[in-house]
Structure 1
């Protein structure tokens, strides 16, 4: 049986990796998923913020709740050269 993380464990895992590059895979419903890369910018008590660099010198910030990771609506993966590690 797979052990699921609690919200407190997820918050700690996200807070440890602030400032690192991550890959977000977000389930938008109806078989729509988006994959984006950005920098984990900040972690607040209820949400975390990822800064995504877009084209044409634009910067976009997206926020997700920790329950999105728990319910697997969002999958956050560290972008490392050697191996990839899931935060959840």
Structure 2
């Protein structure tokens, strides 16, 4: 059974991964899925910022509700 996620639990989970690599899957609209690698740069009360790997100057911001509604999916690499 999957644990019920809330915005506060999503925020705490993302805060624990600041500075780590992440794979970002975002809904680009019209059946388009955007996949990028990046690093979680900072966390704010309503949003979080990811610096994209392929472009050092480009950052994207998403809200925690985007993760809750699965518009954005974050995949953290597993450490072995």
SS of 1:13's equivalent in the other structure is: helix
Aligned to 2:3: 3
Q: Give the conservation status (yes or no) of the 8 Å contact 1:22–1:78.
A: yes
Deviation at 1:28, TM superposition (A): 1.4
For 1:75-86, list aligned pairs within 5 A.
75-80=73-78, 82=80
Q: TM-score by structure 1 length? A: 0.82
Encode CA deviations 1:27-53: one digit per residue, 9 max, x unaligned. 112110000000000000000000013
Q: How many residues are treated as equivalent by the alignment? A: 80
Matched residue, 1:65: 63
Q: What's the TM-score, normalizing by structure 2?
A: 0.89
Aligned residue for 1:79, secondary structure, equals coil
Q: Is the 8 A contact 1:53 1:59 kept in 2?
A: no
Aligned 1:8-27 pairs, distance under 5 A: 8-27=8-27
Structure 2 stretches lacking a partner, 5+ long: none
Q: 1:8-47 to 2 correspondence within 5 Å?
A: 8-47=8-47
Shift of 1:81: 5.5
Q: List, as ranges, runs of 4+ consecutive aligned residues in structure 1 with deviation greater than 2 Å.
A: 1-4, 79-82
